Structure 1
């Protein structure tokens, strides 16, 4: 008879694609298994929709991908009771209402809720207004209420969570120092590289530096290296924009001489940032 406890991870994104999953808990899957647990994971977005999700157009592919995601969540619903723990990251389904979150809360034996960023905000300066209309504050708040424990990533987020659940722990994203190694000898024998790593959703913060970077390029010789937003452009600056891949991430970070980490303090969204980018740069 199998006596191992079983954990089902309910993930928003495909495996090993999104930083909030990879560096919060996916990198610990082998350690969780070594500790005697059996784990499975189920992603709402699959690899097919992930390729086009944040690109303009591709309406049919996006609709088909969303339908596949909802179908997976319905299938998962009927096996939740097979698992001792259901670990939910961010949400069960991406758009309102909080129906699936309510269902999962009723059926699962025990929920651990992992919240990264202030996903309960309806508005943020870097998010289009229509995307905000699709979000529901009730989803994360409901999951906070029904969870046996909540894992947050910043003191601000932890304080907010404790309004609904006293059982929360602030655990920031972590870096595997066996993989992330410093290679820059800080020698001035090459062209200076200013680097930024992020995603489609946070590149708006980098674009806020446009005027500054353009002025800097008039007096200093440097290259801007952008990872995570392959369609990024900037006039008057020598730049290289790359899509993120797991294989490319660390070698690209190691090319940075100076890492850029713009966080506009007038945007409440940044209060959910744990400083992961700074850790990666270092």
Structure 2
């Protein structure tokens, strides 16, 4: 079966790691990010995989419905579809009272509104497609646990988690359902972790704990996490709306 992967935030971190592995294992990768990753074309050429890059800023919510139309124009009519909503921002790392409206709005748009709008448009456009359709919303333990200074991140991830559960519940009742799941990758050695470690301790009281993860070498590589996610997506019967934690897959 032909497989198409659509990945947001594909230029760095987990998104780039997923993209690189998909380019080696799938038929077509559609990568969405503000900037292109230079290695992707080389990998696509090496493995004979079709590569489509679409430059997009997910902070610009108003363009996302038309973006879905553009994406689906690129998808083969018989292809299985795997859509990974990976893009996200950790900022603002500030306690409530110091969040600031502008940075808070960016967090809400990128972490919550963008994947929700994309999912809504994607479900609508593909509701008559009788083929495997999977959407993965990259989640976090922060969706379930509060962290000092992470009000924006925890809240947006919690909102996306509940959205995924509701959408999964609904899709189980339609003729040609899409499977929507959450996937928590745990702590990874990415640029987001660097941002967390550089936060002011007054803004983020757990900063030293995250420094400890790095110093002790307990951060997982994005490549390892990507591999586990792609293994999960090979499972025939994913539970619609479920929160999958990488710790349960180790």
TM-score, scaled relative to structure 1? 0.38
Higher relative contact order, chain-length normalized (CA < 8 Å, sep 6+)? 2
Please identify which structure carries the higher helix content: 2
